[in-house]
Amino acid sequence: MLSILEPSCQHEAVTQGPTVVYTDGACRGNPGPGGWGWVVPDGPSGSGGEPQTTNQRMELTAVLEAVRSLDGPLEIHSDSTYVVNCFRDRWWEGWIRRGWRNSQKKPVANRDLWEPLIELVLARSIAFHWVKGHAGNRWNDEADRLATEAADTQDVIEEQSLF
């Protein structure tokens, strides 16, 4: 018996690069009604909001929800220097070393969002890239649209609850 493996029968592992995702947060007033959004180019997206929040919380929530929703390695593009610099400059290491105090010895803002995000980032292959907001980047603009629509929806919900 002769067995021949043809090239079409041989399977090579195909390594897939990271999933690219764009994230953004928006707030109508700061604090005020806010929204967050994330989008994978030509792929899935997500958004949501809170009736009373800050822009920084929405920026963080957008990233956290994207990481929770998407499997595998990620390449996150954000117009938030707050988010990108935390990981690029490793601010989180100092926060943890100082017992969740910033360099001014004050409690780290938004710790309730930073802690789970840092934990997820450390457990996975996730890279962060800064992108200039409102500069014509199609996918950053789409993440912004999702976030602002979610913020506007929260504004309507808040107005309805007043009556």
Catalytic residue ranges: 24-25, 59, 79, 134, 144
Contact 147, 79 (CB under 8 A): no
Q: What is the spatial distance between Cα 2 and Cα 134, in angstroms, rounded to a whole number?
A: 64
Q: Is 62 exposed, middle or buried (CB count within 10 Å of its CB: 0-12, 13-18, 19+)?
A: buried
DSSP E strand boundaries for 9-152:
19-27, 32-39, 45-53, 74-78, 126-130
What is the number of H-type helices and E-type strands within the chain? 5, 5
Which candidate, 73, 61, 72, places its Cα nearest to that of 24?
Answer: 61
Which candidate, 82, 107, 112, places its Cα nearest to that of 95?
Answer: 107
